[in-house]
Each structure stands twice: as C-alpha cells, then as structure tokens.
Structure 1
C-alpha cells in the first residue's frame, strides 16, 4: 500500500462530545458480527447488481492474518486510539482496540462483491448525490440506493462494530472507470489532539483516510497497491476490509458467516441470484450456490438450526400459491406442512432482495409447518421498503400512513387463509372446542377452581379374584380438592383425504432421488438392487397414518418419507397382538395405490406389498384389504 501523502484526517470537534458508544452500532447490539455483516453487506451487494437481471452477484468473504505495519497510516491511527483511551481510560472496547493495534499481526476480513456496479460519484463535499460519500462518510444515507435496498451509512456502522480497532477500508471500481478508489474510516471518540498539550483542543470521533494537505475537502487515493495479502481490485465492484475482525477467533473457517448467509438469503441463493465464497489462511474454502445449497444445509452441525433450514428449503421448492393484491401486486406463498418437524416454524416474509425480513406466527394454526411469503412486485417492494426500520427486520404499519395497515392486513390474511386450506388438505379438518369442561358433570370439572371437588377412586382391601373390569372391592368415593387443574381444550382431527378432483394430497416436502439401504430395521436383510422396486423399505424411513373404511372393510394407509428421499420397494406391514408389536404379519389379500386419479394395483405376496413407491414430494395413499376385514393396530416393519 502506497500513498505517503494520505492518512486519517480528524477535524476539530463540534459542540457535542461523542463517547465510546455509537448510535449506529447500537442498532445491531442484539446480533452477532456474522449475522449483522451477512444481512447488511449481502443486501448492499444484491442491490448493486451491475444491471437488472444480470445474476449472479458473487460475494467473497476472505479472512487473513496481516501485519499491523501494513495498515495504512497505522502510526497516526495508534496515536489517536491512545488519545481516545486516555479520555475514557476504563472502557473495555478502547482498551481492546489499543491492545490489538499494538500487536505484530491482526485478523482482517475482506468482503468483496463481483457482478456489481461499484460506488459511483465523487468523494468531494460538493457532490451531494454521491454513493461513494454516502458509504464512507454518511450515516443513514440512502443516496444511490434503489427501492430494493437500505442505507449505506448503516452498512458502515456494521463494519466498525465488527472491528476490534474500529477501523475499515474500502476499494471500489465502477464499469465506467478504469480507476480503483481507496477509502478508509475510523470511528473513535471525542479526544484530545495527540499533537497538542492543550486539553481544550479536542478532535472529532471520526477519522477519514484522505489527502492530508487539503483539510477543506476530501480526496481519496486512486489505484492503490494491494492491502497486505489481499488481491488488488481490477473488476467492477466493492471490497470492505474490516481491520481486526472481532469474530475471527471464534469463527476461523467462517462457518458462522456461511450459516448467516443461508439463514438470510436462502431464496436468493436457490434462484441463482447470489453466490457466496469463503476463504481463509488455512486454505479452507467453501462455496454457497444453488447446486450446493442443500448439501450445505444438511452439513450444519446444530440439529435444531439444520432442521429449521431444511424445512424452509423444502418450502421454497414447492409450487407457490399466487395472489394479486390491489396495493401490493403479486404475492407468493410457499408452504411446507410436515408433521415430522419438532415444532411449528411459522412464516418467513421477504421482498425483492429475497432477504429474510421477519417471521409471522399464526396461533390459530396448530399444525407443524414452515412457509415463506415473497412480495417482489415493484409497487409491493416500494411500499414494504418504506415500512422497514433501519435494521430491515420488520414491516411496521405506522411508517406508511397511507398503505401500511391495509398492506399488513392483506399479507396476514393471505397467509392465514392459505395455511388453513393446506392444513385441511393434508391433515384433515381440525376442530378445537374450548370450554367443553363446562358441559361435563360436576365430578369431572377441571377449571382451576379450588372450591370444586372431584372424586378419587379407591380399590379397598381387594380380593383374590381379578377381572378385566374390576380390581378389589368398591368403597364409597373419597372427595378430594382439585387445586391444580385448568380449562382443557380438546382437539379433534379427522384424516386427510383427496380433494373432489381426485388429486392426491401434498405433504409440502419436495426432495427427490433414490437411496441405498443397509440392514433392515427389523433384522430382515435387504434384497434386490437399490431402486429396482424389490428391496425391502425400512420401516424407520416411513411414517404412516391409517384408518378403517367401514363401508368397504378396507384400510386406508397414508405413507410419507421421513428421509425426504424416494423410498421404493417391498412394504412389510405388522400388527399388534395384545397391544405389542412383534413378528406377526397381517394377512393382506389386496393392495391398491390410490395416490392419483388412476389407481394402481399392487402385487401382494405372503402379506408383503410389492412395488410401493413413496416420494419426498407427496404422501402415498394405499387401499389395503386384510382377510376377513378384521380390525388391527397396524405398523410398518
């Protein structure tokens, strides 16, 4: 890095003293460094796509260990950091900054984007419409941003917050220019001028890397040499260098960055709008793109987070429900109903940048699901953008007096109506009866009233003879106070059936592919080749719901793949005898696949059903007749 005439310029302080806390940084106080960087810089990069539709934008997160001596104007930076610490000697953030800048080496994170248009405009005070100025010296400034994006100055605050020495640099290049611009900023506190002994000579908190000979305007360095070990910018786009990346020790392979990008930009990655790369000193490299996204999600070590991301990924692979609203234009809702989820995951909402804004909860929906709502129309994106705070993590009606309430009402009603329809289609009608306990006899009341009494049965002294209905002699009921009860809600669920058109029920999962099987869960060795329809389907890979059709005397089985992969082969049923499942095989006589409008007869041999196919996309429905029409408790071996 060259440019001896350039350095950090601090100007005299104004009428207000600035302490160690910065309002721009406090906005992200609840987020990790990885989460805040991923959201803000990811949105800035997507918003700066070179031209509309010219996807993908590529983001590179590169973590390197760099010599402190390679930091531009580092000696001057050290003096100002020490001066800030002298003004606030007990502040841990400033103590940490001084310790980091006085070490021999430091961790630096570069976040570069490609396929973007860079930062246009001049750094001069006279250029009031400059995107370059908005990022490097602005605070909450949206100049040069479209309706898709946020505020440049907020992105700057995220970088400062993630820096141990509160310093960041930028390089940027536009398609129209053959020059690369180098800029820098450090955000400290109001402090005494290090070159003066006068305690009244106070300097402002922000230092800007510029030509030091002109204190009336700003002149950034052009065509700089590479910064430390990082590559030189030669293509349009922007690099952000975070000096002393605060999460480097906890995230040396940038796994937290990768997970944060998946969490916030899953849809953008799936559609090929965004490619993300990670590079570290240890030559560890990873790539997030549409082809490898599923593998990256499946490799997440945290099981709860992995399950949630898999569920939303599956939702985005479903055909969306589409509705056109008079204000918001086209809205799309992707729904994944999955009763194997550990809990309800709610509905993530997003607009044109395809970045997660927030999640909406529907308390009236008790089914387990993950859903995604997208509103990317020009008018909808514009309205919803105006309803977001600076963190872009909510849609607040009060921010748009004209459209806010109506827009939120339209979105929430659309989500609720479609979720109810899908749950009814896949899981059947669900009826919740509140207050049913008020209709029960007094002895069965459980309403939390300690003055109400129930009865406790007593077996008495007992007799030698036992029966299925009575154990011991009866005695008079013994009253007992009910002190721990509360009102009970009873939920009745009727099984899902196909709709009137005969179309099959959808599960919301949509994963494809074949799977190889090892040893059978019930100890039965697999036979046949993987995927040829003759191998035994492992019972642990399926979930099954069933009911008895009294009119036909048949069982209706609804099978789902637990793995999300296609399971095909021989289905072996079992039945419980005396309440215990064992090796008993029910005498199946006939079986038909009724998943589609054209039933498919299945071969039955020795109680086993052949050529059964259960995909990860939708449930498989079978009509099974057992000899004699006997009622059994069924299971899958």
Structure 2
C-alpha cells in the first residue's frame, strides 16, 4: 500500500525549514529551476535530437493529490509545533502550506522530458544510480566526466518552486522499467507524541521502516500518462508567479541559446515552443524587457554571423582538448562586450567581462574534449555560474588551476583585442592627420567637380608630443557667436534619446548660411527654457555617402568625453560659402532621431565608442558636406 512515511527523529536533533540547498536557489527560483531541469535532461539524452521538454501548469482536485489527507495532517502538526517554538519563518511557511491544502484545487507544474534515457536504476540494490541520486539523496551526484551536475544540490531548486516543498517523480527508463515516488522536504514536527524527521517519502512502506518506489502512482497517471522513455516531475503546490512563463523563456534564451540554436534542445511552455525556428522572434520580444535577454540577442548575432572561429588545441600543458572562440565586432551599434562561457553541453556558465572598454563586441567560447571539459567542470561552483580554482584539492593543484584559468583569460582577451584592432583600424583617423584625408568617396568621375584634392605628394612631418589627458574642447571667442542656443520644451529619456515632438524651425537665426547663432532667451510666452550648447572641436569624424540614390550619408563620431546631449549641424559645402542642409530623416542604433532643419538631435554619446548616424538630405545631386558638433554645457 502506498503512503507517506516520515521517519522517527528521536535523538536526532531538530531540522528547520531553512534547507540549505533550497535556500541557495530561492533568489531566482524560475531561472534556477530551468537551468537544473534542462541540464539534467541534456545529460540524459539517448542520442535522439533534440531533447524535448514540456513545462505545463494545471490545477488538480485535491483528491488527485497522492496521500493528500495524511500530508495535510502532518502540515498542521508541523504548524502547531513551530508555533510553540515561536519560529516566525517556519510559522509563515506552514500557515501558507495549510492554506494551499485547504483549497479544492491544488496548482501543479508538470515538467516532462523526451528523447532521454529516463532515471535509470530504480531497483538498484546498491542505491548508486540516477534514480537514487535524483529522488532519494541530498548532496549526491552520480554524474561523472564532463556532465554538468557534480554536486547534487541543484535538484533543490525543484523544491524551492513548491509552496509545499513536495515533489513527485515518475519515470519510464531505457531498460523498460517504470518507477514513481513522492518526496516532501519539510521540518521536524511531532505527531501522536512522536518526533518526526522533516524529509518524508511517498511510496511502499517496508518492514524495516524504509520507503521504496512504486511502479506507478494512479493519481500521477491521471495527470499525465507516460508511454515514452523519459521522466515526469510534478511540483505540487507550485508557487504561481504571474510571470512564470516569461521567466522560464528568458532563462532558456539566456542560458541554453547554444543548445537551442544547435537543435539539441526544444522546450514547450504551455503553448509556447522555444526551438531554433522561434529563436529570432522570441529574442526580439524579450531583449528589451527588464531582466530580459539583451545579452542573448547579441550572442545570437554572433551565431548568425559568418565570422571566423578561432581554435586552439595547444593552450594548456597536459590537458587535451580544443577551445573555440567566435567573435563579432559591432561597428554600427553598442554590444554587451562580454563572452558567453560554455563547455560542451550548450549551457551558459557565465558572461565574462572586463575585456575591452572601447571595442564593441560579443563572443562565444566553447570547449571540446572530455579531459578539457572535465578539468573545468571541477572548478565550477554548485550553481555552475563561475570557475573557482580553489575548488581543487591541495595547493599544487590549485596553483595549476589558477595558471590554466589565467592562460585561458589571456588568450580570450588577446584574440578579441587583435580582432577589434583589425576591424576598427580602417575607421579610426590618426590624430592630427584628419585634415589631410578626404572626407568623401568619389563615386562618379563623370560629374563636374567644384572642389578637388590635387594629386601631388606631400611631405608630412609628425612631431611626437607628450600624451596629456584629453578633455572636451569647447570653441570660445570674444563674441557670443560660438554658442548654439536652442529652444526646448522636453528632455532626454533614460536612453539619452530626445523624447519631444519636433520643435519648429528657428526663424530668428542671425545668418541663414549658418554663420551666426540662433535666437537666445525665452520664447514669446516665456515658458520654454533655453539650452545652451557649445561647439566641440576635439573629436574624430568620418563622413561618406552610403546610398547615392537616396542621398543618404553616414557619419561616424568618436568623442573623448561622455555628454548626455549632443547636436550635429549639417551644411552643404559650396565654393564660397556653406548653406544649411535640409535634413529629411536620421537614424542611429535602429532608432529614429529627431531632426530640425539642419540639426540632428543625437542625445547621449559615450566616450571611446563610435556613434554611427545615417541621415538623408533634400538635394538633387551628391553634395560635399560639412558638420559642426555641439554639446550641452550643463
């Protein structure tokens, strides 16, 4: 007969509700749950791709909860026991658990995997199998080699997602064996005068007081009948977070991008399918959400690119294996400037940063080879989110691990910096030589040239000067014409973008050819503030026509100081004078920029990062352009 069994705890002290394993994962329950479930299923693949997972939430009548009546009684016994002891955390937990069990329907999250071996060894007399490791053990893992789990505490994340700390397991393994059992991780309580241990099991009670698994549990088969190899996990009293589906999807995109992209993993959450075909749509949907998957979106661009993959098979002495690094340099936008660090199973361990402040890049590192993966697996912490050499035993092994990790980090940084230098090298002007280089490409030799560069060799002398700390250089003069003042009713948003509607053209300019300064002071109603800008001299730029048919131009700016609010004025260069360009539209980083006559409202520019702006002007012919950059002097 199947029943709940909580062993007697007389003389064994007191067990509290703050289980160390469960508490480890309570900070980010859904992310931790997703990582644990997916890595377990990937490690248990039967060779058929992809491994498939389902997360499905439902509610069941309380009568379909195995051993419902007995467990409810034990919950109330525990509630009274901890009320007597006055432990607030335990009291709060059991108050809520009893409230859940009083409901007519109990929320359940079912997690099922397919194309896996299932939990094998449910009848192993030695209790040394994946079944006993997952269901009956704490701090024990039977995984070896380069498999992801090596501490045996990750399964605690499953219980952290249950308001009852109660989970049922059901498996049909590759050997054709079925097994089912329930586990409840509570706290010490007294029932009928006998102290009970907090960890209880639902199954077949043996004469020696132990509990063994059942072949099946009818109530679980009613929820989900399994006919394929694999495992079902039923989280009873699932903590029903309103955004639980979004959190699982984001965790999948952030942590298992490689496995999904390589068609090694497919996951269904209610009616949403996450696989290689849906990656693009889901990344677009979640990349801009708070705690979303912005990094994963950058890494996805790396995967899609045809960039060279750097490989090194001789990086570490005495450790065979291959390290692979794929890098994408982002010339037109900001990137996360981190490396996705992974081993062979397609799960992200962590994002490596502190590589370069100036190179806009994203990169992905993977490892191939059993020995190499095993070596780094020994350095992983229990949550599999960092490498720590001190996890090796003995000082000699620790020092070797430190050297290995330092070697890897240096190779990553050197490779990225080299690629970034090569990619950016053609785009960065040499300080002091900007005026000697043409600003435009000659796209047509048939057109009449009003201005040209003489085809003569010139001798250039470069004098070396001591490097000084640069600061933004504002143009100054004895009169006030160096200031560009602007009437503004709005402000910048959190992204440094201008958030107001277009401001009407300023018709009070002293000189329509752009030589003077616009109107100063308040508007007629006196209620629009003046924002004062000063011209910036010390910056680098490159401007060229990018689409001759649309009169579209591209300018790349590189400034040496972070400023929240920049403006760019554009002029058509003539033989004797400059004329204000009529700008039709401007974009940067995929965003539309506000334009007013010949002025582009850029917003924020970061020091050391290229700002790339594309804009079109009203003109029937290709023009030579000049620009002036202004910064808000707050």
| TM-score > 0.5 by shorter chain | yes
Does the CA-based 8 Å contact 2:64-2:219 persist in structure 1?
no
Distance across 2 between alignment mates of 1:208 and 1:298: 44
**Deviation of the 1:118 alpha carbon:** 0.9
2:503 paired residue number: none
Does the CA-based 8 Å contact 1:437-1:445 persist in structure 2?
no
2:71 paired residue number: 77
1:354 aligns with 2:346: yes
1:257 paired residue number: 248
**Counterpart pick for 1:421 among 410, 418, 421:** 418
**Deviation of the 1:17 alpha carbon:** 1.2
1:172 paired residue number: 171
1:322 aligns with 2:311: yes
Distance across 1 between alignment mates of 2:331 and 2:198: 55
Match of 1:412, SS state, is helix
Distance across 1 between alignment mates of 2:404 and 2:186: 42
**Counterpart pick for 2:283 among 272, 284, 297:** 297
Deviation track 1:537-560 (CA, whole Å, cap 9, x = no partner) reads 696xx965499xxxxxxxxxxxxx
Does the CA-based 8 Å contact 1:47-1:145 persist in structure 2?
no
Does the CA-based 8 Å contact 1:9-1:208 persist in structure 2?
yes
Does the CA-based 8 Å contact 2:65-2:219 persist in structure 1?
no
108-117 or 155-164, which moves further after superposition? 155-164
Match of 1:12, SS state, is coil
2:105 paired residue number: 105
**Deviation of the 1:376 alpha carbon:** 2.9
1:96 aligns with 2:93: no
Distance across 2 between alignment mates of 1:431 and 1:24: 56
315-324 or 422-431, which moves further after superposition? 422-431
Distance across 2 between alignment mates of 1:419 and 1:394: 21
Aligned residues between the structures: 476
User: Structure 1 pair 468/30, CA: closer, same or farther in 2 (3 Å)?
Assistant: same
1:141 paired residue number: 140
**Deviation of the 1:438 alpha carbon:** 9.1
1:231 paired residue number: 224
Distance across 2 between alignment mates of 1:147 and 1:445: 51
Deviation track 1:456-494 (CA, whole Å, cap 9, x = no partner) reads 99879xxxx999899xxxxxxxxxxxxxxxxxxx99879
Does the CA-based 8 Å contact 2:17-2:186 persist in structure 1?
yes
Does the CA-based 8 Å contact 2:331-2:360 persist in structure 1?
yes
1:553 paired residue number: none
2:237 paired residue number: 244
User: Structure 1 pair 165/627, CA: closer, same or farther in 2 (3 Å)?
Assistant: closer
Match of 1:222, SS state, is coil
Distance across 2 between alignment mates of 1:104 and 1:432: 74
User: Structure 1 pair 166/634, CA: closer, same or farther in 2 (3 Å)?
Assistant: same
Does the CA-based 8 Å contact 1:428-1:494 persist in structure 2?
no
Distance across 2 between alignment mates of 1:161 and 1:368: 38
Does the CA-based 8 Å contact 2:44-2:117 persist in structure 1?
yes
User: Structure 1 pair 428/122, CA: closer, same or farther in 2 (3 Å)?
Assistant: same
Match of 1:259, SS state, is helix
1:116 paired residue number: 116
Distance across 1 between alignment mates of 2:583 and 2:541: 30
Distance across 2 between alignment mates of 1:544 and 1:468: 22
Does the CA-based 8 Å contact 1:180-1:224 persist in structure 2?
no
Normalising by structure 1, report the TM-score. Answer: 0.66
Give 5+ residue unaligned stretches, structure 2.
432-463, 481-509, 518-536, 559-569, 586-611, 613-619, 630-634
User: Structure 1 pair 367/278, CA: closer, same or farther in 2 (3 Å)?
Assistant: same
Q: CA RMSD in A?
A: 4.1
Give 5+ residue unaligned stretches, structure 1.
280-284, 447-455, 471-489, 497-533, 548-573, 586-618, 620-625
Distance across 2 between alignment mates of 1:494 and 1:421: 23
**Deviation of the 1:412 alpha carbon:** 0.7
**Deviation of the 1:380 alpha carbon:** 1.4
2:390 paired residue number: 398
User: Structure 1 pair 627/215, CA: closer, same or farther in 2 (3 Å)?
Assistant: same
**Counterpart pick for 1:412 among 401, 409, 424:** 409
Distance across 2 between alignment mates of 1:581 and 1:628: 12
**Deviation of the 1:356 alpha carbon:** 0.7
Match of 1:277, SS state, is strand
Normalising by structure 2, report the TM-score. Answer: 0.67
2:34 paired residue number: 38
**Deviation of the 1:72 alpha carbon:** 0.3
Does the CA-based 8 Å contact 1:66-1:228 persist in structure 2?
no
Distance across 2 between alignment mates of 1:288 and 1:164: 27
Distance across 2 between alignment mates of 1:332 and 1:229: 47
Match of 1:298, SS state, is helix
1:48 aligns with 2:47: no
Distance across 2 between alignment mates of 1:114 and 1:225: 21
